[in-house]
């Protein structure tokens, strides 16, 4: 990708920098059961996030559903969160994610995370990047759309090729992986949905001649 640096500059100029993610159980909770946004209220500290995964292992499902709803989260995520908490407890420290000195989960732990019912490959990779701080790249619809429409990557490329494209972009432009992923998510939700709305998009100046390619994603 030739314009990696320029594209990152445009993203930063239009969207600004995000606050670095706080790794740990609270971040995993926010990924699985994000808080509903209220137009006039900033969400307070999450008790369920700070208490750690034990709450989800020890309490009854109906209690957990009520606690989730009290934090403006979907109570329907209880079953998944209980399984994730059971996975989390034996291998991760409650506050900071990975045990001291470890940078990556072992293969068996990754495999068990991906096998949890309701955890897609993308969600597993988001948990690893945002909640555990691993240098793993989640590839979602927004990345697929942006990459294909700009001819930066091919739709029939495999996951490793997509991850390599994003990793190279981040390395070349010297930007943190998590920041690049959040910017692409934002571009996807504001401009690059099922139909591209390129006017005003930070990446519009990097479109190929003739405009966006048209892969159905």
| Residues engaged in binding ligand SF4 (CB under 6 A) | 146, 149-150, 187, 191-192, 196-198, 201, 203-204, 207, 212
- Block residue for tokens 């955890």: 119
CA distance 123 to 113: 10
Instruction: Give the nearest distance from C-beta 125 to ligand SF4 in angstroms.
Output: 21
Residues 6+ apart with CB under 8 A from 172: 1, 4, 5
Q: Whose Cβ is closer to ligand SF4: residue 58's or residue 168's?
A: 168
Q: Which residues of 139-167 are buried (b: 16+ CB within 10 A; e: fewer)?
A: bbebbbbbbbbbebbeeebeeeebbebbb
Q: Whose Cβ is closer to ligand SF4: residue 178's or residue 183's?
A: 183
Instruction: Give the nearest distance from C-beta 9 to ligand SF4 in angstroms.
Output: 15
Q: Whose Cβ is closer to ligand SF4: residue 97's or residue 202's?
A: 202
Kindly report the number of other CB atoms within 10 A of residue 114's CB atom: 13
Q: Whose Cβ is closer to ligand SF4: residue 88's or residue 169's?
A: 169
Instruction: Give the nearest distance from C-beta 149 to ligand SF4 in angstroms.
Output: 4
Task: Give the CA angle between residues 113, 115, 121 to the nearest 5°.
Answer: 75
Instruction: Give the nearest distance from C-beta 212 to ligand SF4 in angstroms.
Output: 4
Q: Whose Cβ is closer to ligand SF4: residue 124's or residue 173's?
A: 173
Instruction: Give the nearest distance from C-beta 168 to ligand SF4 in angstroms.
Output: 18
Residues 6+ apart with CB under 8 A from 111: none
């Amino acid at each position: 990708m030739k314009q990696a640096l320029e594209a990152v500059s445009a993203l930063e100029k239009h969207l600004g920098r995000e606050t670095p993610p706080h790794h740990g159980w609270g971040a995993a909770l926010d990924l699985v059961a994000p808080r509903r946004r209220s137009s006039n209220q900033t969400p307070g500290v999450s008790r369920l996030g700070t208490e750690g995964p034990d709450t989800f292992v020890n309490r009854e499902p109906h209690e957990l559903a009520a606690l989730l709803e009290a934090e403006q989260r979907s109570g329907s995520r209880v079953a998944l969160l209980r399984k994730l908490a059971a996975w989390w407890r034996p291998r991760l420290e409650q506050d900071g994610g990975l045990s001291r000195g470890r940078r990556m989960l072992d293969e068996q732990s990754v495999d068990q995370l991906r096998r949890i019912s309701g955890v897609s490959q993308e969600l597993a990779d988001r948990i690893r990047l945002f909640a555990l701080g691993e240098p793993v790249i989640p590839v979602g619809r927004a990345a697929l759309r942006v990459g294909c429409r700009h001819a930066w990557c091919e739709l029939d490329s495999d996951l490793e090729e997509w991850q390599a494209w994003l990793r190279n972009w981040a390395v070349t432009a010297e930007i943190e992986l998590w920041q690049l992923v959040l910017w692409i998510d934002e571009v996807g939700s504001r401009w690059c949905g099922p139909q591209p709305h390129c006017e005003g998009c930070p990446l519009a100046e990097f479109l190929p001649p003739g405009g966006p390619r048209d892969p159905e994603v």
